[in-house]
Structure 1
Amino acid sequence: MSTTAIVAGPDDDGIGAALEAAGVEVSRVDGVITRPQLEEAGIVAADLYVLTDVGQATTIPIVCDLNDELRTVVYARDTVPEFVKGQLDLAVDPQLMDASVVADELVD
């Protein structure tokens, strides 16, 4: 069974491509992210939710509500808001860890 991920937000640091290179099936959502967009992208069955825009941090509680087996990751340079830290599995600054390293860790 293959791993599936939703990459939400702009992907300037290439986490989506790195996940695909690691064999993950990636769907992308961008702009102002809504629950219907997430559902359409396949969040209910996804294994990973990777957020690249902490301005969209309110999506973390939404995805956790829709899929309690989901691993949540923030891959962004900005600080994660306090209110979502308890629902995050991992937060990584792209300046500290390359996308391919993060992707390999998430797949293993």
Structure 2
Amino acid sequence: MSTNAIVAGPDDDEIGDALEAEGVDVTRVNGVVSRPSLEEAGIVDTDLYVLTDVGQATTIPIACDLNDEIRAVTYTRDTVPEFVRGQLDLAIDPRLMDATIVAEELID
């Protein structure tokens, strides 16, 4: 069974490409991320939600509400708001860990 991921927000640090290199089926959501856009991207059947824009952190509870099994990850240089920290599985700063290493760890 293959792993599916949604990468939401700008992907300047190329986490989406790194996940694809690991064999992950990646769907990208750009612009304003909303419940309808997450549903359209397939959040209900997705294994991994990677958010790169903490300005859209309110989408983490939405993703978790729509999919109890999803792993929520932020991959951003910005500080994650306190209100979503409890729902995150992992928060990583790209300056500290390269996208390739993060992708390998998320898949293992």
With normalisation by structure 1, the TM-score equals 0.99
Supply the distance in 1 between the matched residues of 2:95 and 2:30 (Cα, whole angstroms).
22
SS in 2 for 1:80: coil
Equivalent residue letter for 2:97: M
SS in 2 for 1:40: helix
1:11 aligns with 2:21: no
SS in 2 for 1:100: helix
Tell me which residue corresponds to 2:30. Answer: 30
> Any runs of at least 4 consecutive aligned residues in structure 1 with deviations exceeding 3 A, and if so which?
none
Q: Over aligned residue pairs, what C-alpha RMSD do you find? A: 0.3
Tell me which residue corresponds to 2:73. Answer: 73
Tell me which residue corresponds to 2:106. Answer: 106
Tell me which residue corresponds to 2:92. Answer: 92
- Deviations, residues 31-88 of structure 1 (Å, cap 9, x unaligned): 1111010001010000000000000000000000000100000000000000000000
Pairwise CA distance, 1:30: 1.1
With normalisation by structure 2, the TM-score equals 0.99
Tell me which residue corresponds to 1:39. Answer: 39
Pairwise CA distance, 1:15: 0.0
Supply the distance in 2 between the matched residues of 1:51 and 1:34 (Cα, whole angstroms).
12
Gapped runs of 5+ residues in structure 2?
A: none
SS in 2 for 1:87: coil
Supply the distance in 2 between the matched residues of 1:34 and 1:78 (Cα, whole angstroms).
20
